[in-house]
Amino acid sequence: MTPMLVTERVLAVLPDYVNGVDVSPDGRHTVAGSVSGHVCIADVDGDVRMFEAHDGDVVRAKWSHSGRFVATCGIDGALRIWDLAGSLVAEAQHRGWATDLAWRTGGDEVAAGIGRRVVRLLANGMKSVQHEEFPASVECVTWSEDGRRLFAGHYGGVAVFQGSAKPVKTFPWKGAPLVVAASSDGKWVVTGNQDASLHVWKVANGSELQMTGFSTKVLQIAWSRNSLRLANAAMNEISEWDFSGKGPKGSKPIGMVGHSGRIVGLEYSPMDHSILGSAATDGSVCLWHPVKSGRSMLLSHQTHRSLSTMTWSPTSLRMACGTASGEVVSLTFGEDAEEQP
């Protein structure tokens, strides 16, 4: 493997810790939210629009699949949809803190966990479905890739919604999920948990698997595009599980250690599905090609910034990262690096 070039560029600077970052489907715009309540939208030409989006921390900021809108949610209990100019398009409010949000594929609809409820909002301002409150706060939400199912994790398990206000299924489990992700083939849903475990359900029949023994709670999980591999991070360690064939039952994961700080971002590159990217609080960014024998690491790069979040651009081998001091940083790898201005 020839060494890859890395080009680092600061796209914008927010007033404080960056909680969420996302790149638009065309790869041209980056959105980021801060605990200061500010959101910025930066484009590749260097233009930045910054605006106050929430009273208190912005928890998530994400592009709609159409690329027309940005959704943000905050600890003020608000879910808001903005256009590219930063004008408010729609909003919804519920009692409690927002914890997570996810756009549905096919349709400008967003779902967020706010307090004990999943709140759904359309870009035209309509609330699509009114869900009832759970007995505990919603910690995480995600859609199936076809947009038919919505999964909501809360203390006590995962609820599956499909069209109606009541869950079509619930996967009860006495634990506290923190993050949830569904495989793109729709077969599996997995949560990373407070008790340092992963919990996996087969969506069709609810059969479950549990992976335990991580050093800390699991805040990062990522599915490969082909649904055959699942990666997770706990503290500075990454594990990748093989979901081909009968699944990972009884198998050992591929372990990857390259960071010395807590991993704050973990995703497979949409451009090259064999590449797993990770970022950590010690400023390190790693690219991996997970293999059972030998070295999985392709590259390790030190940004000398305390990273707080990371995501890939959908159109190039480029990462967008947030930092604890408010910077939004773009990292371009390999041949793409030379194309940068």
Partner 1 sequence: MSTSDSKVPVTVVTGFLGSGKTTLVNYILSENHGKRIAVIENEFGEVGVDDALVIDAEEEIFEMNNGCICCTVRGDLIRILGTLMKRRDRFDYILVETTGLADPAPVAQTFFVDDEIRSQLRLDAIVTVVDAKHLSMHLFEEKAEGVENEALEQIAFADRILLNKTDLASEEELVEVEGHLRSINASASVVRTRMSKVDLDWVLNVGAFDLQRVLEVEPTFLDESEHLHDQSIVSVGIEEVGQVDVVKINDWLGWLLGEKGVDIFRMKGILNVFGSDNRFVFQGVHMLFDGQPDRAWGENEDRVNKMIFIGRNLDRDEITQRFRKCLVR
Q: Which residues bind partner 1 (CB under 8 A)?
A: 15-17, 19, 35, 57, 75, 96-97, 99, 136-137, 155, 174-176, 194-196, 215-217, 235, 262, 308, 324-326
For partner 1, the closer CB: 77 or 248: 77
Local structure of 175: helix, strand or coil: coil
Give the residue from 104, 133, 105, 134 showing the smallest Cα distance to 121. 104
Nearest approach, Cβ of residue 195 and partner 1 (Å): 5
Local structure of 338: helix, strand or coil: helix
Dig out the tokens for 332 from the structure.
């371009």
For partner 1, the closer CB: 36 or 332: 36
Dig out the tokens for 284 from the structure.
């390190």
Nearest approach, Cβ of residue 133 and partner 1 (Å): 12
The DSSP code sequence of 16-41 is S-EEEEEE-TTSSEEEEEETTSEEEE
Nearest approach, Cβ of residue 252 and partner 1 (Å): 19
For partner 1, the closer CB: 175 or 186: 175
Nearest approach, Cβ of residue 251 and partner 1 (Å): 21
State the Cα–Cα distance between residues 97 and 76, nearest whole angstrom.
Answer: 6
For partner 1, the closer CB: 68 or 217: 217
State the Cα–Cα distance between residues 329 and 12, nearest whole angstrom.
Answer: 7
Local structure of 48: helix, strand or coil: strand
Nearest approach, Cβ of residue 309 and partner 1 (Å): 11
For partner 1, the closer CB: 214 or 243: 214
The side-by-side arrangement of strands in the sheet containing 6-13 is: 6-13, 327-333, 318-323, 307-312
Whether the CB-CB separation of 267 and 276 falls below 8 Å is answered with: yes
For partner 1, the closer CB: 130 or 215: 215
State the Cα–Cα distance between residues 70 and 74, nearest whole angstrom.
Answer: 14
Nearest approach, Cβ of residue 148 and partner 1 (Å): 30
